[in-house]
Amino acid sequence: MYFGTNGVRGRFNELDPALAMKIAQAVGRYLKGKIIVARDCRMTGGTLKAAVNSGLMSVGCDVIDLGIVSSPTAEFMIKKLGANGCIIITASHNPPEWNALKVVDGNGVAISKERGEEIEKLMEGEVVQWDKVGSIKRYENATKDHIDAIKEIVGPVKKKKLVLDCGNGTAAVIAPALFKQMGMDVMTLNSHLDGKFPGRPSEPTEGNVKELISSVKSSDADAGIAWDCDGDRVIFVDENGEYVIGDKVYALSIIWNEKEGDVVTTVATSKAVEDVATKKGSKVRYTAIGAPYLCEEMRKEPAALGGEEVGGVIWPGLCLAKDGFLTAAVLAKALGEKKLSEWLKQVPKYHNVKHKVKATEEEKIRMVEKALAHAKANELHHNDIDGVRIDMKDAWVIVRPSGTEEFVRIFAEAKTPEKAKQLVDEYEKIVKN
């Protein structure tokens, strides 16, 4: 089994060019026709891209090579170039020694683990006849096309001062140009491509963006923005240097979105998202954890916005990619109306407690069953889309088996840290009982 929640991921000794070529052949047999290939700036990106291109052409696919671009850029280009899908060589926010093949189909829907299993069945097979081998073409304008589309959606904005932390990732090829073209006063950090990420680790956690926080404060900027390596995830820093975590970014996006309709999110997302959506009159549809499930749900039934707790927001008016640049551009527009700290007052505050309980595979199943039985017996408002999530007034708790480790995770959110801790303790007792 190679496909995980988001493509095929590994260190270079695991995801090597030989495996990348076999996966690309299988993807080519599955998607067929014209396929976009793009990569981030990781050290192993060049050799893996050559293998992917070769694999696709060997099964008769025509490759459109976008070079080094962000993931949202590559996904936006699928429809624009009439491609049957894309393979993006990126390990997203992971450390530099990792890489991955992220696969997206012709409808812009990321390939889930389940669909990945179908693709893996096509790994063994023949190459095409010598005169049916595919071609390869470079397309140089993807970033420009993406910038133009974002500017068109967002429209005119007031000039504000922004600090952009590109984290030495692909944000460097799009973000400074985008915000300068939007007329913003731009200051940049870590804005040269470097596959070793010398500026900061790629995941834009609060601890990793300390330089951004201090730069926003010292430069009197209106906001700071940071992305992960492939630019689908984004976090903000307000004018006082306060870090704005992923699910708050999503809650703000719901407030700022001009489109009406349902919003889609995963069962791990803060209740703040449901609170702001309900206030706006939008229904919340929950999915399992993982971006492909959000895409599938939004493709199945239209929604106004999709988003996950780590700061990936899908704006379906553009495409079904999590787009950290469109999200940031919408922030830039909102700053014209009021300060980010003022906007944040509209997002309810919650406290959360995360806990994990050691469990074997069998125990994991039993613990989740116990949580479900408890919810049913007590007629609690719950869903079992991914683990068991129980919603109460102003609080919720989720009991969920870890997919990769020997743990059951118990995560609670409430209006006070004490209440969240109490919920975690209560459910630990229930599942261990």
- x/- map, 229-268, Mg ion, by CB under 5 A: -x-xx-----------------------------------
Which lies closer to Mg ion via its Cβ, residue 28 or residue 312?
312
Closest approach, Cβ 2 to Mg ion, in A, equals 19
How far CA 185 is from CA of 157, 178, 231, in Å, comes to 12, 11, 21
- The binding track of 150-189 with respect to Mg ion, each residue x by CB under 5 A or -, is ----------------------------------------
Closer to Mg ion at the Cβ: 92 or 215? 92
| Closer to Mg ion by Cβ: residue 39 or 389 | 39
Number of Cβ within a 10 Å radius of residue 261: 16
Q: Which stretch binds Mg ion (CB under 5 A): 32-40, 84-92, 135-143, 327-335?
A: 84-92
Q: Tokens standing for 275?
A: 């609170």
Residues 6+ apart with CB under 8 A from 360: 406
Tokens read off for 386: 């991914």
- Determine which one of 54, 58, 71, 92 is catalytic: 92
Report, in Å, the least distance between residue 432 CB and Mg ion.
35
- Residue 71 Cβ vs Mg ion, minimum distance, rounded to whole Å: 6
202 is a contact residue toward Mg ion (CB under 5 A)? no
CB of 373 to Mg ion, least distance (A): 37
CB of 92 to Mg ion, least distance (A): 3
What is the DSSP secondary-structure string of 187-217?
EEES-S--TT--SS-SS--TGGGHHHHHHHH
Question: Which position's Cβ is nearest Mg ion?
Answer: 92
CA distance 370 to 364: 10
Of residues 211 through 230, those in contact with Mg ion by CB under 5 A are: 228, 230
| Sequence-separated (6 or more) residues with CB below 8 Å from residue 428 | 355, 357, 410
Tell me the Cα Rg of the chain. 22
Task: With CB under 5 A as the rule, give the number of residues binding Mg ion.
Answer: 5
What would the two tokens of residue 75 be? 């996904």
Per DSSP, 15 falls in state S
Residue with Cβ nearer Mg ion (76 or 396): 76
String of DSSP letters for 375-429: HHHTT-EEE-SSSEEEEETTEEEEEEE-SSSSEEEEEEEESSHHHHHHHHHHHHH
Only segment of 88-96, 107-115, 167-175, 256-264 that touches Mg ion (CB under 5 A): 88-96
Please state whether beta strands 161-165 and 34-39 pair in parallel, antiparallel, or not at all (unpaired).
unpaired
What count of Cα atoms within 13 Å lies in the side-chain half-sphere of residue 186? 22
Q: Which is nearer to Mg ion, 58 or 73 (CB)?
A: 73
Q: Which of 6, 73, 92, 188 binds Mg ion (CB under 5 A)?
A: 92
* Catalytic residue list contains 218: no
Taking the complex as a whole, how short is the minimal distance between the CB of residue 142 and Mg ion, in angstroms?
A: 17
Decide whether 62 or 97 has the Cβ nearer to Mg ion.
97
Q: Which helix (H) or strand (E) holds 264?
A: strand 263-266
State the catalytic residues. 92
What residues make contact with Mg ion under the rule CB under 5 A? Answer: 92, 228, 230, 232-233
